[in-house]
């Protein structure tokens, strides 16, 4: 995917989302990236028929908190899919590895526990520039891809 623009999709291959409800849980950490991902997901859901009133947003402080935020949304909202949006950028310590593994395993666990899909939209890049490129930059927007995935999984 390193050279693929993630924003291209064929609407004719995606079910109409007008009768679906979506949750989007957004990490506030690296907000300049996560807001771009959120906007890509929100705009794509709307483009595919979802109503604004059927897209519920919740914010959490960081990517590690996405797991609890998604669980809370799954427990309290009537939704057909939830998208977890975050961004973790490699630093000088092992913190990156622990956060990435924890978030990945936590979202996997939510998919096993619940009969509602949780979509992984967490960038795990080496540099801020890589995250910029994948959140509305030259490589498109991973949020767009996650919204398409949420629609397809909700109608599976």
Catalogue the active-site residues. 95
Coil vs helix vs strand at 83: strand
**10 Å Cβ neighbour count for 116?**
19
Output the CA–CA distances (angstroms, integers) from residue 49 to 77, 92, 98, in the order listed.
20, 43, 37
Helices 31-47 and 142-154 meet at what angle, rounded to 10?
A: 50
In whole angstroms, give the CA distance from residue 22 to residue 118.
10
CA distance from start to end of the chain: 24
């Amino acid at each position: 995917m390193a050279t693929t623009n993630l924003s291209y999709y064929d609407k004719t291959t995606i079910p109409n989302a007008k009768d679906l409800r979506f949750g989007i849980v957004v990490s506030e950490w690296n907000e300049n990236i996560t807001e771009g991902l959120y906007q890509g997901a929100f705009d794509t859901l709307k483009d595919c028929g979802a109503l604004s009133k059927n897209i519920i947003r919740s914010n959490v402080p960081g990517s590690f908190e996405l797991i609890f935020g998604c669980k809370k949304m799954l427990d309290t909202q009537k939704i057909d899919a939830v998208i977890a949006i975050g961004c973790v950028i490699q630093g000088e310590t092992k913190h990156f590895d622990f956060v990435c593994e924890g978030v990945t395993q936590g979202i996997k666990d939510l998919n096993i526990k619940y009969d509602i899909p949780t979509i992984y939209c967490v960038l795990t890049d080496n540099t801020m520039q890589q995250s910029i490129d994948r959140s509305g930059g030259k490589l498109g927007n991973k949020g767009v891809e996650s919204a398409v995935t949420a629609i397809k999984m909700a109608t599976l």
